[in-house]
Homo-oligomer: A and B are copies of this chain.
């Protein structure tokens, strides 16, 4: 697997420039706000989203000022969401640092999130990037719908495989799809069909990414050396378990649901269920589906002419679905 630094190479100068511009886009007239946003910048992640934006732009044409704004818009929005998420989940840690709410309390965290969101919107509006705005607002809508659908469906444990794909398409894939669509849309004179194609590409990548993420809960080969079983504990139905349920008899189904409903806090029972999911072929099935979605993504990519950016994008797709944590 190619390293992220290697993958980044053809767009490295853009990413460096982007980081500078992004820093500026966060500046404000309120001192407290600057202290918090400077802290957020210090704890930034792997920059996967900006990479999708810049590589998509380079695949469809040439990175320009509008591409930078697209990346800033998405990153401002995504950062706002993360800050809010930590408030909701009452979590004190983010990427190995204290979360904003842990250091400055909930009220400040929510306000900073709102502020970042409004800065993203204003940046796009000021420059009349309405196409980008539409793509991104739609992603915000789908992300909240997806999360809510997941909460709604978790109450019944009878979840169809198609609903699972709908949930992960909305809650996870829509953001990656909008990165790729915005990258394409930032190119002057690009046609709608190409934007849609890049959107579809990102959606497939996002679905494969989330199946992989859900697999960490069942696979023994992850970073900690054992499956963590958090999804079962939280009664979150993901593909390996859904597949086993759909291939079980009435009585087996009842037994599985009983474990998830009533014994989800018992590590022994959870581990036993994970073993059963493995033996039933649920994990293999999910892996195979993940590869199918990845292949769909890669085959869209192959419709574009060969280039350094396309090769990097292929490597990025492999990276996001082969990662170990």
Which A residues form the contact surface with B (CB < 8 A)?
28-33, 81, 84, 87-89, 106-108, 110-112, 114-115, 117-119, 121-122, 125-126, 128, 130, 133-134, 137-138, 140-141, 143-145, 147-149, 151-152
Contact = CB atoms under 8 A, between A and B. Distances in A.
A152 B121 contact: no
A148 B115 contact: yes
- Find the residue from A87, A117, A140, A144 having the highest chain B CB count within 10 A: A144
Contact of A151 (B29, B108, B138, B145): B108
A248 B318 CA distance: 69
A76 to B, nearest CB: 12
Contacts of A32: 148-149, 151-152
B88 A107 contact: yes
B30 A145 contact: yes
B30 A148 contact: yes
B108 A148 contact: yes
A273 B281 CA distance: 72
Given A121-B133, A121-B140, A115 B145 contact: yes
Given A107-B89, A151-B32, A115 B130 contact: no
A90 to B, nearest CB: 8
Contacts of A28: 145
Contact of A130 (B29, B89, B112, B130): B130
B119 A141 contact: yes
Given A114-B143, A121-B140, 5 more contacts: A87-B110, A88-B107, A112-B144, A118-B137, A122-B138
Contacts of A130: 125, 128, 130
A99 to B, nearest CB: 15
A12 B145 CA distance: 34
Given A30-B145, A33-B148, A137 B112 contact: no
A122 B141 CA distance: 9
Complex A-B, nearest 7 residue pairs according to Cβ-Cβ distance, in ascending order: A118-B141, A118-B140, A115-B144, A32-B152, A121-B137, A114-B144, A111-B144
